């Protein structure tokens, strides 16, 4: 028992000393080795203005609140949306950009890509710390007059109605100076155990890949569900198949995990499926394209 207590005491003192030294010297290497939640330099509560009340903003709000930061304002063009989120996190709801307070520690712009430029042209962020959360919008959207500008991009699909573990969400950061980059690294490590530095060029390709891996796949779920609905088959029967398909690529490459009639070039099965889609020519075109590409890829990789 004495040995265990001694070990715990030494471990605690080591963490505290490491945290103190990292805070003093702002050493990024130290930030990278600290456990999540022990990020130096942000031990105090940040006062944050959240610009946006949609899916991304809502999940950021919950994660920040969980990490004991204080969201002082929530802005939305819809005061109802702002009030709904603000009530949950005990913040003030506003629907006019002119009402944004000027002395927050951080301003997070979590709005649609098209609205970011409007926000930036309406609020003077020159002496403030400000980030946007968009994957496809470059850091260069911020004017050079802003001292501390950056990106805090969560690579995940969000819906207000669905809870998720934000600590598993990949957070991609970028900043216009090393000091603010370190600040964002520390904050991100409080929110997630998966934090990466990506520049704007890398991030736009990450965003593109996400559209293929998530948005397009989700639309295919929609098609599959519609096909079952027409024949009065419960679409929940798809869930085990969807789950196993997703889990397989954690162990196998997508090419290795591929199965089905297109892979085998089973022309009889392919024709039967196309005949079933006669009333849905748009689905037929999708089916043909995917089948062609699956077989082509299989042939190139010689896995048939």
> Which string of DSSP letters, residue by residue, matches 19-84?
HHHHHHHT-HHHHHHSPTT--TT--SPPEEEEE--SHHHHHHHHHHHHTT-EEEEEE-SSHHHHHH
Distance CA 270, CA 99 (A): 60
| Residue-by-residue pLDDT tens, the chain, 304 positions | 555 656 566 666 666 555 544 444 444 434 444 444 444 445 568 999 999 999 999 999 999 999 999 999 999 999 999 999 999 999 999 999 999 999 999 999 999 999 999 999 999 999 999 999 999 999 999 999 999 999 999 999 999 999 999 999 999 999 999 999 999 999 999 999 999 999 999 999 999 999 999 999 999 999 999 999 999 999 999 999 999 999 999 999 999 999 999 999 999 999 999 999 999 999 999 999 999 999 999 888 764 4
Structure tokens at 15: 């963490």
Say if residues 42 and 188 touch (Cβ distance below 8 Å): no
Whether 73 and 191 map to the same domain: the answer is yes
Q: Show which of 177, 198, 219 is a domain's final residue.
A: 198
Both 95 and 233 in a single domain? no
Structure tokens at 239: 């869930």
Question: In this predicted structure, what is the pLDDT of residue 87?
Answer: 97
Indicate whether 5 belongs to any domain: no
3 state SS of 86: helix
Q: Residues 53, 155: one domain? A: yes
Domain ends where: 198, 226, 245? 198
Look at residue 25 in the predicted model and tell me its pLDDT: 41
96 and 69 in a common domain: yes
Specify whether 189 is located in the same domain as 60. yes
As a whole number of angstroms, the distance between CA 45 and CA 37 comes to: 13
Quick one: tokens of 152? 């805090």
Six-digit token string for 248: 């397989």
Distance CA 191, CA 261 (A): 44
- Per-residue pLDDT at 225: 98
- pLDDT value of position 30: 43
> Is the pTM of the predicted complex or chain greater than 0.85?
no
What's 264's domain CATH number? 1.10.1040.20
Query: Do residues 295 and 154 share a domain?
Result: no
* CA–CA gap between residue 43 and residue 151 (Å, rounded): 21
Domain assignment present for residue 289? The answer is yes
Cα–Cα dist 72/80, whole Å: 17
Q: Token pair 């605690």 is at which residue?
A: 12
Residues 169 and 135 in one domain: yes
Residues 174 and 41 in one domain: yes
Give me the CATH number covering residue 145: 3.40.50.720
Contact 198, 172 (CB under 8 A): yes
If one counts every other C-beta atom within 10 angstroms of the C-beta of residue 167, the result is: 15
Please tell me the distance from the alpha carbon of residue 65 to that of residue 157, in angstroms, as a whole number.
20
Has residue 220 been placed in a domain?
yes
Helix (H, G, I), strand (E, B) or coil at 228: helix
Give the integer Cα–Cα distance in Å for 89 and 61. Answer: 7
| Residue 18 domain flag | no
Residue 274's pLDDT is 97
Tell me how far the alpha carbon of residue 217 is from its chain's centroid.
17
68 and 208 inside one domain: no
Instruction: Check whether residue 187 and residue 232 sit in a common domain.
Output: no
Q: How many domains are contained in the chain?
A: 2
- End position of a domain, from candidates 144, 178, 198: 198
**Strand arrangement of the beta sheet that strand 92-94 belongs to:** 92-94, 70-75, 47-51, 106-109, 129-132, 148-154, 171-175, 195-197
**Residue 32 domain-assigned (yes or no):** no
15, part of any domain = no
Domain of residue 284: give its range: 204-301
């Amino acid at each position: 028992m004495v040995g265990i207590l001694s070990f715990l005491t030494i471990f605690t003192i080591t963490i505290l000393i490491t945290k103190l030294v990292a805070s003093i010297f702002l050493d990024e290497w130290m930030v990278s080795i600290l456990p999540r939640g022990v990020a130096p330099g942000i031990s105090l509560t940040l006062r944050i203005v959240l610009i946006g009340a949609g899916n991304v903003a809502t999940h950021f709000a919950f994660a920040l609140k969980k990490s004991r930061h204080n969201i002082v304002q929530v802005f939305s063009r819809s005061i109802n949306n702002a009030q709904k989120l603000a009530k949950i996190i005990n913040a003030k709801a506003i629907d006019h950009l002119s009402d944004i307070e000027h002395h927050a520690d951080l301003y997070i712009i979590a709005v649609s890509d098209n609205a970011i430029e409007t926000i930036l042209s309406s609020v003077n962020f020159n002496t403030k710390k400000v980030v946007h959360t968009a994957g496809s919008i470059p850091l260069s959207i911020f004017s050079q007059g802003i001292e501390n500008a950056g990106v805090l991009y969560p690579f995940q699909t969000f819906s207000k109605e669905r809870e998720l573990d934000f600590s598993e969400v990949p957070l991609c950061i970028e900043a216009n100076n090393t000091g603010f980059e370190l600040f964002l690294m520390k904050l991100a490590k409080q929110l997630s155990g998966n934090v990466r530095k990506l520049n704007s060029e890398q991030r736009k390709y990450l965003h593109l890949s996400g559209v293929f891996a998530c948005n397009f796949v989700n639309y295919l779920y929609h098609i599959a569900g519609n096909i079952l609905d027409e024949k009065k088959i419960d679409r929940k029967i798809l869930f085990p198949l969807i789950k196993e398909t997703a889990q397989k690529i954690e162990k196998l490459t997508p090419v290795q995990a591929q199965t089905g009639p297109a892979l085998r070039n089973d022309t009889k099965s392919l024709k039967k499926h196309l005949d079933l889609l006669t009333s849905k020519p748009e689905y037929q075109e999708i089916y043909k394209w995917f089948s062609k590409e699956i077989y082509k890829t299989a042939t190139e990789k010689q896995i048939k």
